[in-house]
A = this chain, B = another copy of it.
Amino acid sequence: MRIIETRQAPNPRRVRIFLAEKSIAVPFEEIDLMAGDLKSAAFTKLNPWQRVPILVFDDGGVICETVAICRYFEAMHAEPALMGVDAFDQATVEMWQRRVELGLLTHIAHVMRHLNPKMAHLEVPQVAAWGEANKPKVTEALLALDARLADSRFIAGEAYTIADITALVAIDFMRPCKLALPDGVPNLRRWYAEVSARPSASA
């Protein structure tokens, strides 16, 4: 198997950190999404929805979508569990993963896609007012995570999970989007220092 990705994009980093936490090695192949590789005929055949990363099996099977790729490896390599253990725990991790992805990362991505002129070929049409409208939504999500982390070591509870991976990648993606952490988020900063210090963060 191999993973096709674009190293600088946030979603592929989520998969790399996930694999590093599980000590799984998969070969990576790079495509350049800024050069339009997502729309190439060869890539579109593998993923008609034109997104990275994708997991390509030697028999031709393909799994697209970051969290679906993580789900595959979670099912194949249960330890360490990154998506919860029992039913309530799995649901709790999924709840927080989704809150972070849909409530934070997605808004950060909209800022990038709608306000950066270099993204004009990927986001058609760019709507600057919508890009701006996402900025306070980012702040709101960060404040909500700070409140959560007042009571909890990690985002989904006492164990490090995929929700932490999504949040770390989202926050690091704020820099190229010219967004900064707000004041008054001490719990978020404590958590950020801890998850950034894990070896997987450099994946």
Contacts and interface: CB of A to CB of B under 8 A. Distances in A.
Contact of A92 (B68, B99, B144): B68
A49 B140 CA distance: 10
Interface in A153-201: none
Interface stretch (A2-10, A20-28, A29-37, A69-77): A69-77
By secondary structure, the A interface counts as helix
A91 B92 CA distance: 19
Given A61-B88, A63-B92, A76-B87, A68 B127 contact: no
Interface string A88-101: 10111011001100
A120 interface: no
A49 B127 contact: no
Contacts of A87: 71-72, 75-76
A123 B40 CA distance: 36
Of A65, A95, A129, A130, most buried by chain B (CB within 10 Å of CB) is A95
